[in-house]
Amino acid sequence: MPLYMDRHDSVDNTPEEIAAAHKADLEIQKEFGVQYLSYWFEPMDRTVFCLADGPSREAVIEVHRKSHGLLAGRVIEIDPSLLQALMGEFPEYPPGTSYTATAVRAVLFTDICGSTERASRLGDETAMQIVRMHDKFVKDAFETHDGRMVKHTGDGVMGSFTSVAASVHAAIWLQHSLDEWNKSADEPFQVRIGISAGEPIAEGDDLFGSVVNLASRLCAWAPSGGIAVSAAVRELCLGKKITFIEHGPIALKGFSEEIPVYVVTG
């Protein structure tokens, strides 16, 4: 059965009222062949994201309409495997229990610098050894900082973090570890990293669309061995003893406006 996520904006309800609405959904959902699985409530932004299995988008909407009348501004069908990789474990509380849970996620991309030239110069086998070494450093960085691998991109990876600060610390850890390894490596290599942060539904009905695109563009822009982040990442890391240098606004492919960009220096 398809999986759907909806988004409610400018919500004036309390956490208790949201919990009661979710419980009301559960009480009538079988009438429409729907199963509401969980929700995220962002009290600062006044947004709610609901997650449900259902036969159609219309069926999911009708459950909300009949149970409490709080209709979402947007409902999209999503890939369950992608959602799990990006969001991690879903909030699980007894029906009617009030809670808040952030839906903000940091998305991190890595890219091995000069991989095409290296493969041409040294051959595919040596190039693959570099990829495997990169993957080991990334795996260690993610495991140490509670990150999740979303997918491999060939010359890099895409990952997700529930903590924005943890994503930056993972990037710093990865670069420092690579610097140490390069001191004695027969074939040293550099990695560039891009990080952005946002909520799971973006304009254009694309899950994490703008957040993913921005992280990818920041990675492509980042200097060799560098870490480039969005303004949202910097703001969410205030007070975390991380140093940023502003390099923007900058024109990035796929974005109509120039984007403020920051480089992490430590």
Q: What is the pLDDT of residues 111-159, one digit of tens each?
A: 999 877 776 777 777 778 888 999 999 999 999 999 999 999 889 999 9
CATH number of 3-87: 3.30.70.3090
Tens of pLDDT, residue by residue over 230-241, are 999 999 999 888
Q: Over 163-205, what HEC string results?
A: CHHHHHHHHHHHHHHHHHHHCCCCCCCCEEEEEEEECCEECCC
- The β-bridge relationship of strands 244-246 and 261-264 is antiparallel
Q: What is the pLDDT of the chain when averaged over all its residues?
A: 91
Residue 111, pLDDT score: 96
Span 7-28, average pLDDT: 95
Residue 1, pLDDT score: 84
Residue 202, pLDDT score: 66
CATH fold group of domain 105-264: Alpha-Beta Plaits (3.30.70)
Banded pLDDT at 251 (limits 50, 70, 90): very high
Q: How far is CA 211 from CA 120, 229, 236, in A?
A: 33, 11, 15
Tens of pLDDT, residue by residue over 70-98, are 999 999 998 888 888 888 888 989 999 99
Q: Do the first three CATH levels of 3-87 and 105-264 match, i.e. the same topology? A: yes
Give me the residue spans of the domains in the chain: 3-87, 105-264
Residue 19, pLDDT score: 97
On the question of pLDDT at 207 being above 70, the answer is: no
**131-135: long-range contacts at Cβ-Cβ below 8 A with a sequence spacing of 24 or more?**
131/155, 133/181, 133/189, 134/110, 134/189, 134/191
Q: How far is CA 116 from CA 121, 190, 202, in A?
A: 9, 13, 33
Alpha-carbon span 30 to 25, nearest angstrom: 9
Residue 204, pLDDT score: 59
Tens of pLDDT, residue by residue over 185-206, are 888 999 999 999 998 776 555 6
